[in-house]
Amino acid sequence: MFEFCASVAFYGDYILSRACHDNVIVLWRIEGFSSAGPRPSQSTAPTPQNVLPTSYEDPDRLTRSAFVPATSPRCPSQYTRLLEFHTPNCGPQFFMRFKLHHVAGQNPVLAFCNAAGNIFFWDLRRLTVYREVMAAQNDVRRDKSKPVQVPSWLKPVIPRQRADAAGRIKSVASDRDSLTSGQTGHTETTDYSTETWDSWESRYSMEDPHHALRAHRTESSSANFVGRQAAWSPGGEWCVVVGSSNTTLVLQRWARKTASRASVTTR
């Protein structure tokens, strides 16, 4: 089944896109493309196909590129999938659009609202910081007596206890995180639990391009609210989400403790 792309945006020379039936936003790159490179000539532009391919067996017929006109052992594909971001509970909805806040001097933050009133945020700078932390942690040459410093947003999962249906007490991991880009505080790595490492990996690891990263922050509205479009103010302080039921959600970053974090308006 062929998908319809509902939202797309550049992130530097990379591309973010989301198909309407996929519960993920995908980050990928066009092989051979560089915005700093020369513009391809018009003669190299792919021409329309008279007969559309009916299977995925021949990638050259599905995707064609002016930057990689033909695949080769040196460049076996015309594009590469780099990352996925998990956007659950969207169902068969069309026209659900994400928005990337990407301005100089601030961490790039991706925002998206699903069909269940959940607004997801990912701080893309955290992904590279996490990779650097893990590289230092796994460096066989480092002094093991000196713990690796980690940013303050890498919080350990602290199990909490609750009763199950039979009245027994069991531990449940709580990993709610905050999203305040630009934090400079650090702690040191210790013997963290398996739940903590798994939680960090599920949000920040870029090792597997087919592992969809969970949101770094989630805000919730009505479960019946279907988000259609997210947008950022130029300075990144405000995120606006519009959707079903003539409803607009306004969320504030870096809000003062006495101020409301989010508001809802209808029209």
Hey, how many other C-beta atoms are within 10 angstroms of the C-beta on 257? 5
pLDDT (tens place) for every residue of the chain, 267 residues total: 456 888 999 999 999 999 888 899 999 999 888 899 888 888 877 776 665 666 655 555 667 777 876 666 666 678 899 999 999 999 888 889 999 999 999 999 999 999 999 999 999 999 999 999 999 888 888 888 788 888 999 998 887 665 455 544 343 344 444 454 444 455 555 568 889 999 999 999 999 999 999 999 999 998 899 999 999 999 999 999 999 989 999 999 886 655 445 555 555
Which strand (E) or helix (H) includes residue 61?
Answer: helix 59-62
Hey, how many other C-beta atoms are within 10 angstroms of the C-beta on 67? 15
CA 109 – CA 233 distance, rounded (Å): 12
For the record, the structure tokens of 151 come out as 């940013």
Nearest to 230 by CA among 85, 80, 71, 111: 111
